[in-house]
Amino acid sequence: MMHPIDIHVGRRLRQRRRLLALTQEKLANAVDIRFQQIQKYESGANRISASRLWSLAKALDVSVSYFFEGMNGHEPTSEYELHGDYGLAAAPAQNVLEDKETIDLVRYYYQLNKEPRRRLLDLAKAMSGAE
C-alpha cells in the first residue's frame, strides 16, 4: 500500500520535472537510474531514499524541502488530508499543477514581458467571470 507522504513527494517530483520540461528519461539519466524508476517514484509506488532525493533535488535545482512543501507540518493519514478541504466553490482542481496544459501555460506566461502578462491575466479574469 502506498503511503500518503510517498504520493505527495512523487507528485512534487512530477510537478517540478514537468515545469522544467524534462522527460522522465532525461531526469533518470541525470541521476543515473532508469526512467521506469522515475515513474515509480512519481506514482508513489516506490519510496525515494534520502541519497536519491538529494540527487533529484540537485538535478531539479530545488532544495530537498521542496518535496515536502504543502504538508503543513504533519504527516497526512489519508488522500483527503493530503490535499485538504478548502471549502471554496471556485478553487482550482487539486491536481492542477499535474496537468501538462497548466505547466505549459505557466511556462509560456513567464516568457512574456510584463505588459503582455498583465493583459493575458486580465483576459483570463474576464473570460472566467471573475471581477
- What is the structure's pLDDT at 55? 97
Q: Which range is least confidently modeled, 42-51, 93-102, 104-113?
A: 93-102
* pLDDT above 60 for 101: yes
Proportion of the chain above pLDDT 70, given as a percent: 79
- What is the structure's pLDDT at 93? 52
- What value does the mean pLDDT take over residues 62-69? 93
Higher pLDDT, 28 or 120: 28
Higher pLDDT, 100 or 77: 100
* pLDDT above 60 for 79: no
Q: What is the CA radius of gyration of the chain?
A: 17
- What is the structure's pLDDT at 77? 56
